């Protein structure tokens, strides 16, 4: 872990790629872990755009118990330490596959949300309707109803990338740019099995950079990793101690 922290300090352009495993420490279920969402029957339909277009209640009814909860999720130690590392200029950008906005809540500024964000919900048909705030959507979904456009009554949708949709062009372009210029990419809490996000470490390696992987399960890139750890919390508790001891202001 000390070698990893030194590598991050010495890197010219260190970036981070995060997946669902980062947010499990905040009480959000991941997708492909041992207790992941995809262990449940028909779970793949929840984030399928064709299913949403045919019947949006499939998404909202399922997401009520793990996305649209009244209790607000808080950033974990990983989110908070990454924001600190950015403030210390030790990382240049965070690329996330997550849609929960926890990186933003923690204070990360150079954030690329390649799968979009739940912070915005909008009408897919009516271009004149203002976006609906997440809190209002939560209240509606928790009441058992579907959130609808106030102008045309169409069920609104979250500004996330469903399976079957293309990723946001700008976000993907920005992520690829960061991967190309990184001399160290730190991969956190992702199985690296879903493209195009899973291809980003390959871009870094192809351009002469190194990768570090911290993930509970195996990934296809483990054999290429300069550093490989399983326990996110332990590693980031260590990094938090390093930050506190090396960068704290003397009294």
What residues are annotated to the active site? Answer: 115
- Tokens of residue 220, six digits: 């296809």
What angle, rounded to 10 degrees, do the helices at 2-10 and 232-247 form? Answer: 60
- Tokens of residue 238, six digits: 């260590």
In the chain, % helix, strand, coil (3-state, to 5) comes to: 40, 15, 45
Rounded-to-integer distance, Cα 228 and Cα 224, Å: 9
**Measuring CA to CA, which residue among 99, 88, 100, 78 is closest to residue 16?**
78
Rounded-to-integer distance, Cα 118 and Cα 107, Å: 17
What angle, rounded to 10 degrees, do the helices at 232-247 and 77-87 form? Answer: 40
- Cβ distance 220 to 193 under 8 Å? yes
| First-to-final CA distance of the chain | 28
């Amino acid at each position: 872990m000390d070698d990893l922290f030194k590598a991050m300090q010495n890197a010219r352009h260190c970036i981070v790629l995060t997946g669902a495993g980062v947010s499990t420490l905040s009480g959000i279920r991941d997708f492909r872990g041992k207790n992941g969402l995809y262990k449940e029957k028909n779970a793949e339909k929840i984030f399928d755009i064709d299913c949403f277009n045919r019947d949006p209640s499939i998404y909202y009814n399922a997401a009520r118990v793990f996305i649209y909860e009244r209790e607000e999720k808080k950033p974990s130690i990983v989110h908070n330490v990454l924001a600190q590392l950015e403030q210390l200029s030790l990382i240049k950008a965070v690329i996330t596959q997550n849609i929960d906005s926890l990186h933003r809540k923690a204070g990360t500024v150079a954030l690329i949300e390649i799968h979009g964000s739940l912070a915005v919900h909008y009408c897919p048909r009516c271009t004149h309707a203002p976006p609906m705030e997440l809190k209002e959507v939560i209240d509606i979904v928790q009441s058992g109803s579907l959130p609808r456009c106030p102008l045309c009554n169409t069920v609104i949708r979250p500004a996330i990338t469903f399976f079957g949709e293309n990723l946001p062009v700008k976000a993907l372009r920005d992520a690829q740019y960061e991967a190309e210029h990184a001399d160290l990419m730190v991969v956190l809490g992702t199985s690296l099995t879903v493209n195009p996000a899973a291809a980003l470490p390959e871009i870094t390696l192809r351009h002469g950079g190194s990768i570090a992987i911290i993930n509970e399960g195996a990934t296809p890139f483990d054999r290429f990793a300069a550093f490989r750890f399983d326990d996110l919390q332990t590693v980031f508790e260590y990094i938090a101690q390093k930050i506190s001891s090396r960068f704290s202001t003397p009294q």
